[in-house]
C-alpha cells in the first residue's frame, strides 16, 4: 500500500461452519424457551398439547430464529413483535403483552409476550425474544373463547400492545383487568407467569451468546443468515417454471350463514424479477361468522407452504420472504377488518388457505405436492363447573386427522397437519384435569381416500361428560372431503355426534350446545386425500 492510499475494509462474511454454529445456537434459544414454557405452564393445552411457539428477533424486529413449534404462530408472530415495537419504548426488564388480531395477532386466545434484550451500557435493545401461547379461555360469550360469534367483541378480552412488566415489576393493574375477564383466572395467571419466565430465559441465553461470540461476530452471523435465507428462497423460485397457477377451495360455511366460503389464489413466478407473487383476488368478502382470517394468518400460511419447498434442515428466518409478495384484498376472509369475528380464521381458514396454495402449486410441481390433508383442526371446547371440586374449567383441544398421500407414498394417519403442530391431550391427563371419561380413542379405518397411494386415516375420539357443560365445535370438511390428486379420491368427511341416552344426533361443524352429565360426544375426523389412479 503506497503512502496516501486509503485502505478499504471489506465486511467479514462468516464461513459455512460458523454460520451453522450461530444459526443452531440461536435456534436452541427458541427451543429452550419453549421447553421452559411447557415445563412450568398450568394448563394441559400448553403443558401437554404444546400449543405454543417461541422465537428470537433482531433489534429491527426481523425474525432470526424460531422453535420447532406451531406454523400458524411462527409465520404471524413477527407482526405482533412489530406492533409492540411501534407502540412503545422498551427499557430493561419490560415485557409487553398483546393478542389483538388487528394489531399483529391472530385470534384472541393466542397471547403473545415480547421482551427486549439489552447489552450492558447500551440504551437500545440488541435483540428481542417472544413467545405465543394459546390460552384455554380469554372470556367472551362461550367457554374456551372459540364459539360461533358475529363480532370480535363477543370473542373475549382484546389486548392491544401493553406492558405487563415495567422495569422488572409486574403491572398489577394490567394483570387484574385481564384476570377479571376470564373464566379460569388461576390457570391464566399460571400460564402467563410461565410465558414471562420463558422470556427471561430466552433473554439470558441471548446474552450468553453475545458473551460467547461477541456482538459484532454474532450480528455478522445474523445478517448472513437472513441473506442466506433469501438466496435459498430465490433458488427455490428458480426451480419453478415461469408462469401463473390458479386454484380455489372452500370452507363448508361460516357457522352463522349457510353456504360455502370461497378462497382463490393465483401464484405467479417471475424469475427474471426475482419475485413470487401470491394473489388472493377473487376470495369471498369477510363473513358474518368467525372464519375470517386477518392478514397475519394469510401471510403465515404462505410462509409455511414455501418453507415446505425448502431442503430438509434449512434454517427459517425473515429473509425467506424477501422475494415474496402476498396480496390479500382488504375486507375479505383472508384479510378481514374490524369488527369481524376471527377465532376460526386462525384455526380453520388458515388450513384452507394452505390447501388452496398446495392445489395451485401442484400444477407447477406435480411430482412434489401431496393431496389435501384433513383440512380442519377439529376444534373442541368444553366448559362448565367441575362437579369434583365446584370450580369452573375450560377445555380446548384440536383433534388430528389424516394426511394427504403424495407422489412418494401414502399419507400418515392421526396427524395434526399443516398449520397446527400440536399433540393430543393424553387420556390420563385429560381425565385427571377435567370431568370427562374417555370412551374411545383410535383410528378411523377406511377414512383415507383411495388411490395408487392411499390417504391417511382420521381418528375417532369419544368422551363422556361427568357434569353439565357447554360444548362448542369449530370444524370443517363436513360437507366436502379433502381432495385427492392425480386421480386419487377424496378423503372421508368429518362427523361429530352427540349421544344422550340412546338417541344420537349429528351436530353441525360449527355449533354450540348445552349437554347434560352422562352425555357422550364422538368426533370422527376427516381422512386425507388419495394420490394417483388405481
224-244 residue pLDDT tens? 999 999 999 999 999 899 999
Q: How many residues are listed for the chain in this entry?
A: 534
Interatomic CA distance for residues 172 and 382, integer angstroms: 30
Interatomic CA distance for residues 429 and 44, integer angstroms: 7
Is residue 4 very low, low, confident or very high in pLDDT (cuts 50, 70, 90)? very low
Interatomic CA distance for residues 445 and 329, integer angstroms: 41
Strands 495-500 and 459-465: unpaired
Is residue 534 very low, low, confident or very high in pLDDT (cuts 50, 70, 90)? confident
Per-residue pLDDT averaged across 175-192, rounded?
98
- Could you tell me which residue, 8 or 321, shows the higher pLDDT? 321
Q: In which element (H, E) is residue 202 found?
A: helix 185-213
pLDDT at 144: 96
pLDDT at 270: 84
Interatomic CA distance for residues 63 and 172, integer angstroms: 30
Interatomic CA distance for residues 401 and 448, integer angstroms: 9
Q: What are phi and psi of 264, to 5 degrees?
A: -120, 150
Return the minimum-mean-pLDDT range out of 92-96, 133-137, 420-424.
Answer: 420-424
Check pLDDT > 60 for residue 7. no
Check pLDDT > 90 for residue 106. yes
Return the minimum-mean-pLDDT range out of 117-126, 271-280, 449-458.
Answer: 271-280
Is residue 430 very low, low, confident or very high in pLDDT (cuts 50, 70, 90)? very high
Cβ–Cβ under 8 Å, residues 397 and 22:
no
- C-alpha atoms less than 13 angstroms from C-alpha of 187 in its C-beta half-sphere: 23
Q: Percent of the chain beyond pLDDT 70?
A: 97
DSSP 380-442: EEEEEE-TTTS-EEEEEE---BPPPPBTTBPPPSSB--TT----PPPHHHHHHHSSEEEEEEE
Per-residue pLDDT averaged across 255-283, rounded?
93
| ∠ CA 104-105-108, rounded to 5° | 155
Check pLDDT > 60 for residue 11. no
Interatomic CA distance for residues 163 and 175, integer angstroms: 10
Check pLDDT > 80 for residue 5. no
- Termini Cα distance of the chain: 74
Tally of CB atoms within 10 A around 203: 24
pLDDT at 6: 45
Which DSSP category does 285 fall into?
B
Interatomic CA distance for residues 112 and 118, integer angstroms: 20
Per-residue pLDDT averaged across 237-254, rounded?
95
**Residue 391: which of 428, 433, 430 has the closest Cα?**
433
Per-residue pLDDT averaged across 392-414, rounded?
97
Check pLDDT > 90 for residue 13. no
Q: Percent of the chain beyond pLDDT 90?
A: 91
Cβ–Cβ under 8 Å, residues 77 and 91:
no
**Residue 380: which of 212, 253, 496, 530 has the closest Cα?**
496
Interatomic CA distance for residues 162 and 80, integer angstroms: 12
What residues contact residue 166 under an 8 Å CB cut-off, 6+ apart?
Answer: 91, 93, 94
Which DSSP category does 322 fall into?
T
Average pLDDT of the chain to the nearest whole number: 94
If 0-12 CB within 10 Å is exposed, 13-18 middle and 19+ buried, where does residue 353 land? buried
pLDDT at 247: 98
Interatomic CA distance for residues 141 and 139, integer angstroms: 7
Q: What is the CA radius of gyration of the chain?
A: 23
Interatomic CA distance for residues 430 and 48, integer angstroms: 9
Check pLDDT > 90 for residue 316. no
Q: How far is CA 205 from CA 18, 58, 269, 279, 289, in A?
A: 18, 14, 40, 39, 43
List the beta bridge partners of residue 329.
none
Check pLDDT > 70 for residue 146. yes
Check pLDDT > 50 for residue 172. yes
Q: What are phi and psi of 89, to 5 degrees?
A: -100, 130
Interatomic CA distance for residues 318 and 337, integer angstroms: 25
pLDDT at 19: 85
Is residue 289 very low, low, confident or very high in pLDDT (cuts 50, 70, 90)? very high
Is residue 493 very low, low, confident or very high in pLDDT (cuts 50, 70, 90)? very high
List the beta bridge partners of residue 264.
248
Per-residue pLDDT averaged across 266-281, rounded?
91
Amino acid at each position: 500500500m503506497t503512502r496516501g492510499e486509503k485502505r478499504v475494509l471489506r465486511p467479514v462474511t462468516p464461513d459455512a461452519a460458523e454460520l451453522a454454529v450461530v444459526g443452531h445456537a440461536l435456534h436452541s434459544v427458541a427451543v429452550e424457551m419453549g421447553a421452559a414454557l411447557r415445563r412450568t405452564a398450568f394448563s394441559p393445552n400448553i403443558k401437554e398439547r404444546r400449543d405454543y411457539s417461541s422465537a428470537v428477533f433482531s433489534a429491527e424486529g426481523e425474525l432470526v430464529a424460531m422453535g420447532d413449534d406451531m406454523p400458524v404462530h411462527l409465520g404471524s408472530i413477527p407482526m405482533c413483535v412489530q406492533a409492540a415495537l411501534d407502540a412503545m419504548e422498551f427499557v430493561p426488564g419490560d415485557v409487553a403483552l398483546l393478542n389483538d388480531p388487528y394489531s399483529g395477532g391472530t385470534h384472541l386466545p393466542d397471547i403473545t409476550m415480547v421482551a427486549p434484550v439489552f447489552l450492558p451500557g447500551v440504551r437500545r435493545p440488541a435483540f428481542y425474544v417472544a413467545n405465543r401461547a394459546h390460552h384455554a379461555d380469554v372470556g367472551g360469550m362461550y367457554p374456551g373463547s372459540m364459539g360461533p360469534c358475529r363480532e370480535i367483541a363477543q370473542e373475549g378480552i382484546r389486548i392491544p400492545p401493553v406492558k405487563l412488566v415495567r422495569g422488572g415489576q409486574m403491572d398489577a393493574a394490567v394483570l387484574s383487568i385481564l384476570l377479571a375477564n376470564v373464566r379460569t383466572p388461576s390457570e391464566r395467571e399460571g400460564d402467563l407467569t410461565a410465558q414471562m419466565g420463558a422470556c427471561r430465559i430466552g433473554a439470558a441465553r441471548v446474552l450468553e451468546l453475545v458473551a460467547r461470540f461477541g456482538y459484532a461476530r454474532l450480528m455478522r452471523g445474523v445478517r448472513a443468515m437472513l441473506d442466506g435465507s433469501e438466496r435459498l428462497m430465490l433458488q427455490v423460485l428458480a426451480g419453478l417454471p415461469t408462469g401463473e397457477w390458479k386454484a380455489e377451495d372452500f370452507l363448508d360455511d361460516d357457522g352463522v350463514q349457510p353456504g360455502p366460503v370461497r378462497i382463490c389464489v393465483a401464484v405467479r413466478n417471475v424469475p427474471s424479477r426475482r419475485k413470487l407473487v401470491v394473489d388472493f383476488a377473487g376470495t369471498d368478502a369477510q363473513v358474518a361468522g368467525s372464519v375470517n382470517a386477518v392478514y397475519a394468518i394469510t401471510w403465515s400460511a404462505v410462509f409455511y407452504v414455501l418453507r415446505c419447498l425448502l431442503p430438509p434442515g434449512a434454517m427459517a428466518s425473515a429473509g425467506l420472504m424477501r422475494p415474496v409478495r402476498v396480496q390479500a384484498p382488504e375486507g375479505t376472509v383472508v384479510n378481514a377488518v374490524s369488527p369481524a369475528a376471527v377465532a376460526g380464521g386462525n384455526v380453520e381458514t388458515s388450513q384452507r388457505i394452505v390447501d388452496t396454495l398446495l392445489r395451485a402449486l401442484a400444477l407447477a410441481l406435480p411430482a412434489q405436492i401431496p393431496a389435501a390433508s384433513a383440512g380442519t383442526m377439529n376444534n373442541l371446547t368444553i366448559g362448565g363447573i367441575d362437579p369434583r371440586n365446584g370450580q369452573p374449567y375450560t377445555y380446548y383441544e384440536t383433534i388430528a386427522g389424516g394426511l394427504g398421500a403424495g407422489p412418494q407414498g401414502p399419507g400418515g394417519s392421526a396427524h395434526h397437519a399443516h398449520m397446527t403442530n400440536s399433540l393430543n391431550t393424553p387420556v390420563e391427563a385429560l381425565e385427571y384435569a377435567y370431568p370427562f371419561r374417555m370412551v374411545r380413542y383410535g383410528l378411523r379405518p377406511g377414512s383415507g381416500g383411495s388411490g395408487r397411494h392411499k390417504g391417511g386415516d382420521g381418528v375417532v375420539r369419544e368422551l363422556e361428560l361427568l357434569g353439565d357443560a357447554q360444548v362448542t365445535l369449530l370444524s370443517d370438511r363436513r360437507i366436502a372431503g379433502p381432495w385427492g390428486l392425480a386421480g386419487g379420491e377424496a378423503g372421508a368427511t368429518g362427523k361429530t355426534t352427540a349421544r344422550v341416552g340412546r338417541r344420537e344426533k349429528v351436530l353441525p361443524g360449527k355449533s354450540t350446545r348445552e349437554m347434560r352429565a352422562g352425555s357422550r360426544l364422538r368426533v370422527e375426523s376427516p381422512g386425507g386425500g388419495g394420490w394417483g389412479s388405481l
